[in-house]
Amino acid sequence: MSETTLEAVKPDDIIIVLDTETTGLDHKCEKLIEIAAVKMRGTEVIETFTSLVNPQKPIRYSSFLIHNISEEMVQDAPNIEDVLPSFLEFVGDYPFVAHNAIFDYSFINEAMKATYGKRFQNNRIDTFEMYRSVFPDEASHGLNALLRRFGFDEDVVHRALDDAMCLAKVYPRLRSLYEQKFNWQLSQLKNVPYLLERYIRVQKASQCLQAEMSDLKDIFKLYFQNGGGSVEASTGEVMVFNYRRSYSYDEKKIWEIATRAGVCEKIFKLNPRALDKLIDKADLEESIKEEFRECRLSMHEARNINFLKPQVVTIEPAEDSEESSS
């Protein structure tokens, strides 16, 4: 499984737009309760699939408040082992489209591993990332905001088929803009030297604005520290002041307690960058490094742009020689 590039998927190819609902947010311990998929060719929906799923565990109340799927609604639904065969037959090996696709993929993947002992292999296209790329200035990049952006009045109801159908409506238009942006970027490659000059100007202006904002925030902090109250701007924003506490912990003791309580995954997160450095540079036994390497699931290559500052060469004045001083 991997994210796919749109160049590999032609506009008239068949794709699957899918959505899921779950008992909670953590794919490691929560389960699917609804799964839906929409088969599309171009802008046309040609077939749909949907099914409730009995998760065989309670539905968190916080999740119920989102999707309104009760335990009574799924008690007679088929188990995931009975739903997966027909779902997999429907999606085939077509790439799938989802909003925040890693969420849906993670739950389907866990179900695949538990049922078949293998991973969900279909490539994914994430409309959340596409939306954020095309409209980076939006306050929200959720599905509701995406629908509003393209003039649709439907609300996300957090039922799998309804939300998949909503995404199917906007995906072709979002894809078109995403491709236009990419093609425009390609057309600018010949202008990179000039664009670099523009970038440096924008960077300097941005740094200056950031410094100004930092100075203003310092004044605002002093205002509140001296007893000032909340202030409302003419545009409606309200400036308030609050405190955020943070603590330091004895990591060794915390690890022992978390292991005993079975909550390690909730409070400790793997740092892949630190692990990569450990594998590549640390003075570890090669056998340990190899064990770490075997834990890798996939590789993502990030491309970073760095700007090297010009070196300033200082020429020291030559000391007067004896001849010149005499």
Which of 67, 99, 141, 158 is labelled catalytic? 158
- Tell me the H-state helices in 68-120: 71-74, 80-91, 101-116
Are 156 and 143 a contacting pair, CB within 8 Å?
A: yes
Tokens (6 digits) for 24: 């909670």
Are 68 and 158 a contacting pair, CB within 8 Å?
A: yes
Backbone angles phi, psi at 79, to 5 degrees: -70, 165
What is the Cα–Cα distance from 100 to 149, expressed in whole angstroms?
A: 17
- The 3-state DSSP class for residue 238 equals strand
Are 17 and 90 a contacting pair, CB within 8 Å?
A: no
What is the Cα–Cα distance from 53 to 241, expressed in whole angstroms?
A: 46
| Active-site residue flag, 27 | no
What is the Cα–Cα distance from 289 to 155, expressed in whole angstroms?
A: 49
What is the Cα–Cα distance from 293 to 119, expressed in whole angstroms?
A: 19
Cα distance between the two ends of the chain: 81
What is the Cα–Cα distance from 305 to 320, expressed in whole angstroms?
A: 46
Tokens (6 digits) for 92: 């085939």
Which positions are annotated as active-site residues?
A: 158
